[in-house]
Amino acid sequence: MLPVDLPLEELKQYRPAQTKEPDFDSFWQRTLDEALAQPLNADLHRIADYPVPEVEVFQASFDGWRGGRSAAWYLRPRDVRADGSLPALVFYHGYSGNKGHAYQYLQWALQGFAVLAVDVRGQSGESSDFGQYEGGHVSGWMTKGILDPEQYYYRGVYMDCVRAAELVAAQPEVDRECMGAAGVSQGGGLTLAAVALSKRFSLAMPDVPYLCHYRRALLMAQQGPYLEFATYFKGYPEREEPAFRTLSYFDNLNLADRIHCPVLMSVGLQDLICPPSSIYSVYNRIAREKQMGVFPYHGHEVIAQHVTEQIRWANRYLRRLDL
C-alpha cells in the first residue's frame, strides 16, 4: 500500500513554522473576554420517558456567541449529588454533521461521566447561526467570512465550543477540575481549539482532527472540505493570501502551544481528507503529555481499536483511576 503522505518517521519530526500574526494573542484574548462575559441563558429540559433508567437525558440549549441558540444533549448518571464530584466530557461533531442521538453517548454516561454533545452552529443540527459574512463564499462553511478574521465563521464556532464548556462547568454536580473534550474530524479540530482557548479542560481526545495546518492540508488532501478552499481560490485567485492570513488565526498549528492538558490523538496513515502531516504538525507542537494512536491501514474514520485507550485516559485524568 502506497503512503498518502510522508513516511511515519518523517511525520514524527514534521514541525513546520507557525504563521501567527502579531496580534494573534490579543485577538483571542479580546474574543474570549467577550464570549465569557455574554450570559449563557441556558435551558435544560429532562426527557422524562428516556428508556435507560440508569441515566438522565436532557435537551439543552444556550445562547450562541453574538446571537442564535446552540443545541445539545446533556446526559448524567441518575441520582447524582450536587457536590461537584462528577467528571464530564464535551463532544464536538464532524463537518456538516450534528450531535446525533443521545444513545451514542450512553457508554460514557454509564461509566459515570456527565456528557454534553453540542451541535455546531448552522450545520445540520439544531444550532442556529446569526453570523454576518461579507464577500460571498462557496458551498459549505470553510470560506464564510474568510477575508476578515473578525467575521470568519469559525470564530463563532470556536466561541460556542468554549461556551459549551462553561455550561458544563456551571452544573452543580460537575467537577470543574475533571472535564475533557473529544470529537472526530471537525470535532477533533474543535477539541484542539477548545482546550487551547478554554481553561476548563483537563484532557483532550481528538480523533483524526481537522482544522490543522491549512496550507499543507490543501496541498495534500484528495477529498473533503479542505477542497472548498481550492474551489474558492479558482474563482478568486487574488484572495488566496488574504484568506490564509485570516485562517492563520484559526489554525490549530498556531493554537497548539496554548494547549495546557494531556492529549490523546489518533491518525490514519491512509487519510485522504485530513492528511497525516497536517495532524502531526499540531501534535508535534503540543508541549504537554501526549500520545498518538497510529493506524497505518486506516483512513478518515472512527478507529474502533482506539476507543479502549480513550477509556483508559478518561479514567486516569478525569475519574483519577489507574485501570
* Secondary structure, 3-state, 271-323: CCCCCHHHHHHHHCCCCCCEEEEEECCCCCCCCHHHHHHHHHHHHHHCCCCCC
- 63 and 41 in contact (C-beta within 8 Å)? yes
Catalytic choice (175, 207, 251, 271): 271
* Residue of 186, 182, 183 lying closest to 154 (CA atoms): 186
Catalytic choice (137, 213, 298, 300): 300
Beta bridge partners of residue 267, listed in sequence order: 294
What lies within 8 Å, CB to CB, of 18 at 6+ separation is: 253, 254, 257, 285
- 54 and 110 in contact (C-beta within 8 Å)? yes
Provide the CA 193 distance to its chain's centre, in angstroms: 6
Cα 218 to Cα 259: distance, rounded to the nearest angstrom: 24
Catalytic choice (70, 185, 248, 281): 185
What lies within 8 Å, CB to CB, of 43 at 6+ separation is: 60, 61, 62
Task: Determine which helix (DSSP H) or strand (DSSP E) holds 109, and give its type and residue range.
Answer: helix 106-109
* Residue 271 appears among annotated catalytic residues: yes
179-to-91, 96, 194, 292, 318 alpha-carbon distances in Å: 11, 26, 12, 20, 6
* Residue 185 appears among annotated catalytic residues: yes
Catalytic residues: 185, 271, 300
